[in-house]
Chains A and B, each alone.
Chain A
């Protein structure tokens, strides 16, 4: 599903070139649940952004579902992205001015889905995460765990094949974190590919494979 080859990303600081990603080669099959680990500054989030097409490397090639991503035009790229990828953030990133219902609905607005259909899809999500009673609340009225549920519901509403999660439990206590990871596991078993960035060994264990990053390189550990 995903194939990254010789991905380099760097910043020029004066005469020096600081590498964030250095010769990354990763293949991800559909249905995998991958955890990316590594210390701060090792390039985890950058790698996730490159996979999510939010960021571009300086060198390398990227195949997503058989398409050469970097050869595509901006517009086509965002079409693919809209269709297949859902994002979950550490800081939830809900729109403060929108209610739970409207936040979940937002991605559908950009896919030209009819109002009645949208309603059904959002209701489905609310049901699934058992937050029907909170649909008219604003994000500031929810706990962190509840906000992250909304964030996941929003990522799932477009029925993505791939979920990219950047430390999804980083702002949560361990019990809430555990719940979120259970949900991910459940999703994975339903066939959704998941790539998460995490600090926590425990959370990483939920995944089927762990990729360790250090100073922009994939560290090969034992396996």
Chain B
């Protein structure tokens, strides 16, 4: 029986190659999209799952509140260092607790070679008890014990030492500290939320030249220590969380008016939630977004549905061709159930075939998808029991979904009628088919609208005036060895004609503004604490000119005023936040910030320091005497950048022969901020086109079929004098009406969805009606082109032939 079904399914497939191609192609592409997106989603959902304790590991996070209204002022993924030992001491359910502290960018020297090294972490020796890290050389338990010990990934070790055994080699950290390599470990998988290339013993931080043992025990202000807890199996984290306010009040010194739990909240986040659900202001790496997972799941499902609909529509439309067979089978004794089973067999068979092709295509396209999405996805994630079962089952479901309507419809034919040749023309419920076509095109139009709007928004943020000039600014990292010689370094650079400004600052535009301190402002006769949350950047007098930031009242820092360290320059937002009525009122106001007394000497224009996802917030700049406070040097150049870069390198090598020269253009850093959206827009375009293409293929098949049914009508009309144009119009009219209805359905949905998407940007475009009309027009144009391919052929055919055939 089954053999017979499959045989006839195969012969039907081969007999109508064109229609079969449309069906198979639609389902294959739909399933391929599904598979590719499934791989992506699995990868996202399995972040950090490689740890065998993944379900019991939690990260402790700290959120700062404005104590007055309890609004969130800062949400951090890390906490202060004293919390870990205190937690371990106070709560016996904490089985293990480990801290890692990102050291940022460092240099290591081995022999004559100097290496810039990213992803360096200070890590406690029990990091291996919490995370599954595969130590290949050295002792897991002892390797990070000694303060000067470091461990490297295989790749890093190879970079430094080639094939030589790295263990016990001595490398020089930042030209200052000798470190001994005590072990090598395999780098963490790509779906880990952190990727340490180098781990230095946490005990090194006890050295006061590096951090200081006392600060580690007592400083609750530096919340940069990522702290992970291992809790017992099936432990309810809320039990621990509920005790944390009291815990904080026991240990954290209270503020002037508030106890610790009023302005600081400690929470636990499951390790496996970090990647998709955590978007704190300080993440080790940029995480994923659960919203994106949802969006892409929906897209995959919709594309698959579009393919299924092609099958449904074409099969039921072409039912007339199967009518005779159904009649015969019924007179040969087939019951309705047996016929439904036969047609379902056919659709399941086709979707199985599609699934096999889809697996093949997935294999071929995955490397390419990795390239455009910047992921490292592999098909390996598919080979797990549940997923394999799903891969087997999904074609089955798809087959049933696509086949059930044609099957029920076809099997209800009455043999007496169909054998007499009374075949229901058009086949099936025509309005049902129209609804399905409208559904297909609505989805396509929504995707086109989404694509255009994503592009518009990205274009908008990349070209929006930021309130300063981000072009021609080169960033280099400040170096300790430059502290003494910075002035002559600067003079030598400025002597070159194409180097215009050299400024220093603690942070540079494009990064987040996270540091803030308490402020007081003069009100009448005394300094009064202000409630304003003002972030700060330490900057020298050349910072503002390097970026072309406008001072709109008062003045910039200036050497004319000696060491201008009691001056503050604030932005307009800060003026408002401090409750001052005008910029000029701010000038000369006594101001205290973080224990530093002085006056406001200038106000600069509000500019977008952070990415355009963030609003402009109050900001204060002040100068510092400690060269250590400056992490970046910003160099404004003019003319040919490569000449300027060459000069910069020459000067750098002269002053800092020991430090590798590294630079970055500021505008590139800004571009990186929108990388996730850029990738998303690329994928959107791809999927929109796939959806539209499959929908059009369906329309192509459907219109071809309609035309064969109307051949006689077309013939008669031509004999009566109809022009080619009027016949094309006659045929296209009905279909184009469907596309117009689709557009009407698509517009509100797309509007709602895109309005939602744009909420994530503090600076965004407004939705413009023309985008929607354009998308509708594009869909209509493509649909019309599809139909007229067939219609023109039919209209040009010699009517004598079609009439004789009848």
Interface positions, chain B 403-441, Cβ under 8 Å from A, are 414-416, 419-420
The interface on chain A, measured as residues whose beta carbon lies within 8 A of the other chain's beta carbons, has a size of: 27
**Contact across chains for A93 and B328 when beta carbons are under 8 A apart:** yes
Interface residues on B, range: 20 to 34
Q: Is the CB of A110 within 8 A of B416?
A: no
Residue B325 lies at the interface, judged by CB distance under 8 Å to chain A:
yes
B189 at the interface (CB under 8 A from A): no
> Given A55-B416, A97-B15, A109-B1: A78 and B333 within 8 A (CB)?
yes
Contact A98 B8 (CB under 8 A): yes
Q: Cβ of A111 and Cβ of B416 under 8 Å apart?
A: no
Establish whether residues B415 and A110, one from each chain, have CB atoms under 8 Å apart when the complex forms: no
Task: From A75, A91, A107, give the contact of B332 (CB < 8 A).
Answer: A107
> Closest chain A residue to B10 by CB distance?
A97
Report which of B1, B333, B338 forms a contact with A81, defined as CB distance below 8 A: B333
A154 with B332, Cβ < 8 A, contacts A49-B416, A93-B419, A97-B11 known: yes
Q: Are B333 and A82 in contact (CB under 8 A)?
A: yes
| B589 within 8 A of partner (CB) | no
Q: Judging by beta carbons under 8 Å apart, are A94 and B328 in contact?
A: yes
The 8 A CB mask of A32-59 against B (1 = contact, 0 = none) is 0000000000000100010010110000
- The distance in angstroms between the C-alpha atoms of A89 and B739, with both chains bound, is 45
**Chain B 6-20, CB within 8 Å of chain A: the 1/0 string?**
011001100100000
A132 within 8 A of B: no
| Those of B1-52 within 8 Å (CB) of chain A | 1, 4, 7-8, 11-12, 15
The interface residues of chain A lying within 8 Å CB-to-CB of B329 are 95, 106, 110
Q: What separation, in Å, do the CA atoms of A87 and B12 have in the docked complex?
A: 25
A191 CB to closest chain B CB, in angstroms?
21
B331 at the interface (CB under 8 A from A): yes
| B324 contacts partner chain A, Cβ-Cβ < 8 Å | yes
User: B327-340 interface mask toward A, CB cutoff 8 Å, 1 = contact, 0 = none?
Assistant: 11101111100100
Please indicate the chain A residues that have their CB under 8 angstroms from the CB of B12 in the complex.
97
Query: What residue in chain A is nearest B326 (Cβ atoms)?
Result: A95
Measured CA separation A92–B404 after assembly (Å): 30
B322 → chain A closest CB, angstroms = 10
**Does more than half of chain B's interface fall in helix, strand or loop, or is it mixed?**
helix
A102 at interface by CB-CB < 8 Å: yes
**A158 at interface, CB cutoff 8 A:** yes
A residues 67-121 with Cβ under 8 Å of B?
75, 78, 81-82, 87, 89, 91, 93-98, 102, 105-107, 109-111
Q: Once bound together, how far apart are the Cα atoms of A82 and B331, in whole Å?
A: 8
Pick the contact of A54 from B1, B8, B335, B415 — CB < 8 Å?
B415
Please pick, from A45, A82, A89, A97, the residue contacting B8 in the complex, using a CB distance under 8 A. A97
Set of chain A residues within 8 Å of B334, measured between Cβ atoms: 110
Q: Which residues of A contact B414 (CB under 8 A)?
A: 54
Chain A residue nearest to B330 (CB atoms) is: A54
**Which chain B residues in 735-774 approach chain A with CB under 8 Å?**
none
Query: A54 and B331 in contact (CB under 8 A), knowing A97-B15, A102-B4, A109-B1?
Result: yes
Residue of B nearest to A45 (CB): B420
For chain B, residues 314 to 363, give those with C-beta under 8 angstroms from any C-beta of chain A.
324-325, 327-329, 331-335, 338
Are B328 and A54 touching (Cβ within 8 A)?
A: no
Q: How far is the CA of A93 from the CA of B421 in the complex (A)?
A: 11
Question: What CA separation (Å) do A95 and B12 show in the bound complex?
Answer: 11
In-complex Cβ contact of A109 among B4, B15, B331, B415 (8 A): B4
**Contact status A110-B7, CB under 8 Å:** no
Are A95 and B416 also in contact (CB < 8 A) when A102-B4, A109-B1, A111-B333 are?
no
CA distance A87 to B327 in the complex (A): 12
* B339 to chain A: closest residue by CB: A110
Closest to A151 in B: B328
Which residues on B sit within 8 Å (CB–CB) of A78?
333, 335
Interface residues of A in 124-178 (CB under 8 A from B): 154, 158
Decide if B324 touches A93 in the complex (CB within 8 Å). Answer: yes
Chain B residues whose C-beta falls within 8 Å of the C-beta of A110 in the assembled complex: 329, 332-335, 338
A102 CB to closest chain B CB (Å) equals 7
Question: Whole-angstrom distance between the alpha carbons of A197 and B335 in the complex?
Answer: 26
Which residues on A sit within 8 Å (CB–CB) of B324? Answer: 93, 95-96
Q: From residue A8, how far is it (CB to closest CB) to chain B in Å?
A: 17
Measured between alpha carbons, how far is A106 from B335 in the docked complex, in Å?
13
Contacts of A106 in B (CB 8 A): 4, 328-329, 332
A81 contacts across to B, CB distance below 8 A: 333
Please name all residues of chain A whose beta carbon is closer than 8 Å to the beta carbon of B15 when the two chains form the complex.
97
A82–B335 Cα distance when bound, in Å, is 10
The CA-CA distance from A92 to B79 in the complex, in Å, is 85
List A contacts of B338 (CB < 8 A). 110
Tell me the smallest distance from the CB of B346 to a CB of chain A, in Å: 11
* CB nearest to A56 among chain B residues: B416
Residues of chain B within 8 A (CB-CB) of A109 are 1, 4
Least CB distance, A89 to chain B, in whole angstroms: 7
Can you name 7 A-B residue pairings with CB atoms under 8 Å? A45-B420, A75-B335, A93-B324, A95-B329, A102-B4, A106-B4, A154-B332
Known: A54-B414, A89-B419, A94-B328. 14 other contacts (CB 8 A): A52-B331, A55-B416, A75-B335, A81-B333, A91-B419, A93-B324, A93-B328, A95-B8, A96-B324, A97-B15, A98-B7, A98-B11, A105-B4, A109-B4
Closest 5 CB pairs of A and B: A82-B333, A110-B333, A107-B332, A97-B11, A54-B416
